[in-house]
Amino acid sequence: MSIMIAQSLENNRQAPAQPMGTPVPADNQVTQLLLQAMSLVGHDASTAIDFMRRASALAANEQPFAERHDTIPLHAPGGLAPWQVKRSRRFIEDNLAGRISIDDLAKLTRLSPSYFCAAFRASFGTSPHDFVCRCRVDLAKRLMMETEAPLCEIALDSGFADQSHLSRVFRRVTGTTPAAWRRTCRTS
């Protein structure tokens, strides 16, 4: 994987000149994102992939759509309709720091709570609870990288009850603690 990143870096440096008037991606940002991805490959593959996706979006002159859960799934049999997927995702992203209940999501999509859970799993391949946990962990990762805030504050800003809750869920999702993950990112 690190060979692919290195090749991407080299290709980014040798990109052909674009015609006048064409927006040029921020090469320095692309390079920085790819370097961060390369440094995380052995420690946190999911975050490394996040960085590569952001770099790819930036290089393609698109706005990065943040997390790895950004693609809209195709309509799966028994799953949510595309409008329900968009509404659910938007509601979750807008309310990560607060309480997100199955009842609220079900009402938003005009489904019963039990049917919503089954349809959500068919569309996203995971339960609503696990999806929300992963989104919150991704938000916590972003806050740890972009701010110097203490973990207890990041936990609350990410929608966790407290730092202990953040640590438990973070370890379950990534295999490491938030403090260890933050140290690894800072040293690279």
Closest CA to 95 of 169, 140, 155, 159: 159
pLDDT of residue 21: 42
Q: Residue 154: pLDDT above 70?
A: yes
pLDDT of residue 37: 75
The Cα 143–Cα 102 span in angstroms is: 26
> Where is average pLDDT lowest: 71-80, 152-161, 169-178?
71-80
Q: Report whether 57 contacts 63 (CB < 8 A).
A: yes
Q: Quick check: pTM over 0.85?
A: no
Q: Phi and psi dihedrals of 63, rounded to 5?
A: -80, 125
Helical H runs in 42-112? 45-59, 82-94, 102-109
| Environment class of 123 (CB within 10 Å of its CB; exposed 0-12, middle 13-18, buried 19+) | buried
* Residue range 91-140, pLDDT digits in tens: 999 999 999 999 999 999 999 999 999 999 999 999 999 999 999 999 99
